[in-house]
């Protein structure tokens, strides 16, 4: 359960900042930090277990038929990432307390940040592929909320949209890869998948799986050519940037590469694609960072470069390359979080991030400058700092690889060039900001930040020093455990130390440092060279691409659907014909061997009536009232057909729905002309519509004939056999609705209630002109509510309600049930509206139909939850027999409570739609002031 609490505590903490914001910034920040802090303590308690090689896990079935279960595990890799997510997350919470202004909603910011933290914890702890993907997509959504936090800024909105589009598209590709992996392995359980590397690598689908998988990982970790979105995510507040670049979001991509390393690595395709992508990202990011004038822009491209370095290591294929990758994940998280926080302090206290203006800040904020320079030195790979150790290990591994044969020497050369540029842009960060003269036109005079705003930076910089000087003591055991989880095998022997003697990796480090100094000193030549290339704003390019895509999609949509329903139906039916007709061309094999039934003249008559009603509906389509009457004939015949085939429940439902539908059409047609336009001439109708109808009818008729002439293998036997014993009722249809498929019914009435509320909101403020006469100029009847109609309807109301109650009570064992009874009650009440008017009904029945819908859904849900109290499945029916004097023996079933919920929901939804639509047809709406 400890694993579950590590995930649940931050999840429950999402609402904490929203509830505590009113009590002040300190209280809000402290209460927000409390759940992650407890989760971190629980995580640290698991350290001895995890470091000893054990893997705590949790597994609970959720939807086993789909392979989707709640599964968590905590191996070394997951423990490391949880430590980074929770530890740096807590520092970011403290930092944001001082960074955010009074205008910013601290509750909204912290809630989005904790959601982001929860999503990342879910990714690294998930032991089920589908569950992992759910949290993976949640990171994209939560990062969108954080990047667009300052939503009044156009760069924030565009940057957030770009990030969501790129990472969301990659997420869809990843879903395809995970589904294919689950299909090939036969399970979505991560442990099973990690043990099936050979099976996947030998699969014919391996190239497809790898391509989709890498698309998901590369888009999330901003690998070339998908790197363009990450620098524009800098429109987010700096605490978000610090968190996103160090421990979350972009690290999710490299985490995924590390997690599936034992499954997908080990092939030439993996090593070539992953290592080349990592190398390209390393070089592009490092080179571009040098020319950025925005502090966060420089750091963003440096993140791109370092992510490329980690990806390169995971693609090299040498024995210790994955170890070096994990080590650099740790080091990069520490120095990059501190650098972004330092950049945020500079921006916060000087009002600018433009490095052309930020000069000489050492004299104004010496402590912050010292911290930032130490972190930047670590990023550059200066000895005695943590970044130096992992970069030197990277150099050593580039010398060990032979993936590219005779060209393998290019790998250490290019890696050294990338490291050289990292030294150059780190020097530019330090010299141009803290020295290089005096500040130029800053909005405010720089000064040191509030004391506790600097504490997170101090903690992280101290870690850079401690890991750099005492690496084995600080991270030795953690690194071996995490690397072992990546390799899923014993970790090769390696030594973490500050000094390994004079060797080639040290020489490469020295060349990188000296070369970086040389590049920075002579940077004006590079800047002159770069200035001849026009700089393109990725936001504008992306937005232009999106707008172009929207325009082309609109053109295609107009080509397919120009607003004509006839054309849309024609294209849909034509597509259906193309897909269905060809397999049916072999007529000899279409017919089955089942003997045909004797001709029944009753069936023939009803079929002829059905066809006649259909043809009359089409013929009178421009005369709306007549078309509606003809259409009701079709509904009536369908009801008779249901009764003929021994389905009285369906027949009753069809009749009730038919009445409600006709009333609905009549109310709507009141505001439309009595005659509709004739769209096409008779010849065109004959050539197009009749031709398509005959063709489509022939295909559907052939399919029906093929089905009817074959033996029927139906599931109905199961329901007939278990209806009484399993659901306690002899009415199989009702038992299916309230027991066997009760969850479906709950969903259906929920949709019905939502639809009714939506229609009500559409009608609430609708104003339509009241027609004073029909199309021929005849005025409407002066007597709106004839006395005879009122008298008859009042007399029928008790009888209708009695029938409704009877239908409801007997529904479990005889034709009936809550749905039919609800429709009958609704029709009886609508009849009163028609006979007496809205005002008369509101005075005598002041019901809230919205409350009726809510009550029905609550009762239905309570009936389902009640099953859990007795250890049964959701909506499991309970029934028993009772005896009362004068009544005798009778049966009670818990399904009646669920059916009551259906009954109330149907009444509320039907009346909410029809009664409010009826108001539009009367002047009483204005008279009662009902808007």
Cβ atoms < 10 Å from Cβ of 668: 13
**131 contact partners, CB below 8 Å, separation of at least 6:** 68, 69, 70, 71, 122
How many residues are recorded in the chain? 931
**Which tokens hold the place of 72?**
């968590």
Beta strands in 748-820 (DSSP E): none
The residues, any chain, with a CB within 8 Å of residue 872's CB and separated by 6 or more, are 878
| Among candidate residues 12, 11, 90, the one with its CA nearest the CA of residue 44 | 90
| 3 state DSSP class of 713 | coil
d(CA 69, CA 189) in angstroms, rounded, equals: 9
* Among 88, 663, 114, CA closest to 337: 88
What is the residue-wise DSSP string for 798-818? HHHHHHHHHHHHTTTTSS--H
Contact call for residues 99 and 38 (beta carbons, < 8 A): no
Q: What is the pLDDT of residues 135-183, one digit of tens each?
A: 999 999 999 999 999 988 888 998 999 999 999 999 999 999 999 999 9
What DSSP line would sit under 279-304, residue for residue?
HHHHHHHHHHHTT--BHHHHHHHHHH
Peptide bond into 284 cis (omega under 30): no
Type and span of the H or E element at 72: strand 68-73
Rg (CA), the chain: 36
Please give the span between the terminal C-alpha atoms of the chain, in angstroms, as a whole number.
53
Helix (H) or strand (E) holding 167: helix 154-185
Q: What is the DSSP string of 416-482?
A: HHHHHHHHHHHHHHHHHHHSSS---S-SS---PPPHHHHHHHHHHHHHHHHHHHSHHHHHHHHHHHH
Question: Mind listing the pLDDT tens digit for each residue in 49-67?
Answer: 999 989 999 988 877 777 7
**pLDDT for the residue numbered 685:** 60
Asked if 230 contacts 250 with a C-beta cutoff of 8 angstroms, the reply is yes
Neighbour tally for 635: CB within 10 Å: 18
Which residue is it, tokens 């933290």? 117
pLDDT digits (tens, 9 = 90+) for 651-671: 888 888 888 888 777 777 766
Question: Residues of the chain whose pLDDT is less than 50?
Answer: 924-931
Rama region for 390: left / alpha / beta (φ>0; ψ in -120 to 50; rest): alpha
Q: Is there a contact between 234 and 162 (Cβ–Cβ < 8 Å)? A: no
Other CB atoms closer than 10 Å to residue 412's CB: what's the count?
A: 20
Q: According to the model, what pLDDT value does residue 311 have?
A: 95
Note if the pTM is more than 0.75: no
Say how far apart CA 801 and CA 817 lie, in whole Å. Answer: 14
- Residue 216 has what pLDDT? 95
Report how far residue 65's alpha carbon sits from residue 54's, in angstroms, rounded to the nearest whole number. Answer: 29
pLDDT at 368: 94
């Amino acid at each position: 359960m400890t694993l579950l609490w590590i995930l649940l505590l931050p999840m429950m903490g999402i609402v904490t900042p929203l509830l505590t914001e009113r009590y002040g910034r300190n209280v809000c920040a402290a209460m927000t930090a409390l759940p992650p802090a407890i989760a971190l303590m629980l995580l640290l308690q698991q350290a001895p277990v995890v470091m000893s090689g054990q893997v705590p896990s949790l597994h609970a079935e959720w939807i086993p038929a789909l392979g989707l279960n709640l599964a968590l595990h905590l191996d070394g890799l997951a423990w490391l990432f949880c430590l980074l997510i929770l530890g740096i997350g807590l520092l970011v919470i403290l930092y944001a307390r001082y960074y955010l202004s009074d205008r910013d909603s601290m509750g909204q910011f912290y809630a989005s940040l904790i959601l982001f933290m929860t999503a990342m914890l879910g990714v690294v702890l998930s032991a089920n592929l589908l569950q992992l993907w759910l949290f993976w997509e949640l990171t994209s959504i939560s990062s969108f909320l954080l990047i667009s936090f300052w939503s009044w800024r156009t760069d924030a909105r565009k940057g957030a949209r770009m990030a969501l589009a790129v990472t969301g598209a990659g997420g869809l590709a990843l879903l395809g890869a995970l589904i294919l992996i689950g299909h090939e392995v036969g399970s979505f359980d991560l442990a099973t998948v990690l043990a099936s590397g050979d099976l996947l690598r030998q699969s014919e689908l391996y190239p497809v799986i790898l391509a989709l998988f890498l698309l998901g990982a590369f888009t999330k970790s901003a690998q070339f050519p998908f790197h363009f979105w990450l620098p524009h995510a800098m429109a987010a507040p700096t605490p978000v940037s610090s968190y996103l670049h160090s421990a979350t979001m972009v690290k999710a991509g490299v985490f995924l590469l590390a997690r599936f390393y034992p499954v997908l690595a080990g092939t030439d395709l993996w090593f070539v694609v992953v290592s080349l992508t990592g190398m390209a990202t390393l070089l592009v990011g490092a080179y571009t960072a040098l020319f950025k004038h925005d502090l966060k822009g420089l750091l963003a491209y440096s993140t791109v470069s370092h992510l490329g370095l980690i990806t390169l290591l995971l693609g090299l294929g040498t024995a210790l390359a994955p170890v070096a990758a994990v080590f650099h994940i740790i080091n990069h998280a520490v120095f990059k979080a501190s650098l972004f926080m330092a950049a945020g302090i500079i921006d916060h206290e000087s009002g600018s991030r433009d490095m052309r203006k930020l000069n000489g800040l050492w004299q104004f904020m010496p402590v912050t400058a010292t911290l930032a320079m130490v972190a930047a030195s670590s990023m550059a790979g200066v000895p005695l700092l943590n970044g130096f150790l992992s970069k030197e290990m990277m150099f050593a591994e580039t010398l060990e690889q032979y993936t590219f044969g005779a060209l393998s020497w290019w790998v250490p050369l290019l890696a050294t060039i990338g490291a050289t540029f990292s030294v150059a842009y780190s020097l530019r960060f330090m010299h141009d900001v803290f020295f290089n003269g005096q500040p130029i036109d800053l909005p405010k005079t720089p000064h040191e930040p509030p004391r506790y705003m600097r504490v997170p930076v101090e903690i992280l910089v101290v870690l850079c020093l401690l890991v750099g000087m005492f690496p084995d003591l600080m991270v030795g055991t953690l690194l071996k455990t995490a690397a072992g989880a990546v390799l899923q095998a014993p970790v090769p022997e390696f030594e973490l130390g500050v000094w390994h003697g004079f060797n080639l990796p040290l020489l490469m480090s020295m060349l990188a440092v000296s070369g970086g100094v040389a590049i920075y000193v002579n940077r004006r030549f590079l800047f002159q060279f770069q200035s001849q290339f026009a700089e393109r704003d990725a936001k504008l390019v992306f937005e232009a691409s999106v707008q172009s895509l929207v325009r082309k999609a609109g053109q295609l949509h107009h080509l397919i659907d120009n607003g004509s329903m006839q054309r849309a139906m024609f294209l849909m039916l034509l597509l259906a014909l193309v897909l269905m007709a060809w397999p049916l061309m072999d007529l000899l094999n279409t017919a089955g061997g089942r003997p045909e039934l004797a001709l029944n003249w009753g069936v023939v008559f009803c079929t002829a009536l059905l066809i006649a009603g259909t043809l009359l509906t089409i013929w009178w389509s421009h005369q709306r009232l007549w078309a509606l009457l003809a259409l009701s004939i079709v509904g009536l015949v369908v009801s008779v057909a249901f009764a003929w085939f021994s389905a009285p429940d369906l027949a009753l439902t069809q009749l009730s729905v038919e009445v409600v539908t006709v009333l609905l059409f009549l109310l709507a047609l009141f505001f439309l002309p009595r005659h509709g336009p004739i769209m096409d001439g008779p010849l065109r109708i004959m050539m197009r519509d009749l031709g398509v109808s005959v063709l489509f009818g022939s295909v559907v008729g052939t399919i029906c004939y093929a089905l009817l002439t074959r033996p029927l293998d139906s599931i109905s036997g199961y329901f007939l056999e278990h209806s009484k014993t399993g659901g306690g009722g002899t009415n199989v249809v009702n038992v299916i609705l309230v027991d066997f498929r009760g969850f479906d019914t709950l969903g259906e009435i929920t949709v019905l209630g939502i639809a009714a509320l939506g229609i009500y909101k559409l009608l609430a403020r609708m104003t339509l002109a009241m027609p004073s006469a029909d199309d021929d100029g005849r005025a409407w009847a002066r007597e709106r509510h004839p006395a005879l109609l009122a008298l008859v309807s009042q007399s029928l109301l008790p009888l209708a309600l009695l029938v409704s109650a009877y239908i409801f009570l007997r529904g479990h064992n005889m034709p009936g049930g809550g749905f039919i009874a609800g429709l009958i009650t609704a029709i009886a009440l609508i009849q009163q509206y028609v006979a007496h008017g809205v005002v008369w009904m509101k005075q005598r029945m002041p019901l809230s139909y919205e409350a009726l819908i809510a009550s029905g859904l609550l009762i239905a849900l309570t009936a389902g939850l009640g099953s859990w109290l007795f250890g049964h499945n959701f909506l499991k029916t309970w029934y028993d027999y009772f005896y009362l004097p004068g009544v005798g023996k009778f049966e009670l079933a818990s399904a009646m409570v669920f059916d009551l919920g259906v009954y109330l929901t149907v009444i509320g939804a039907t009346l909410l739609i029809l009664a409010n639509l009826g108001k539009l047809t009367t002047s009483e709406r204005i008279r009662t002031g009902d808007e």
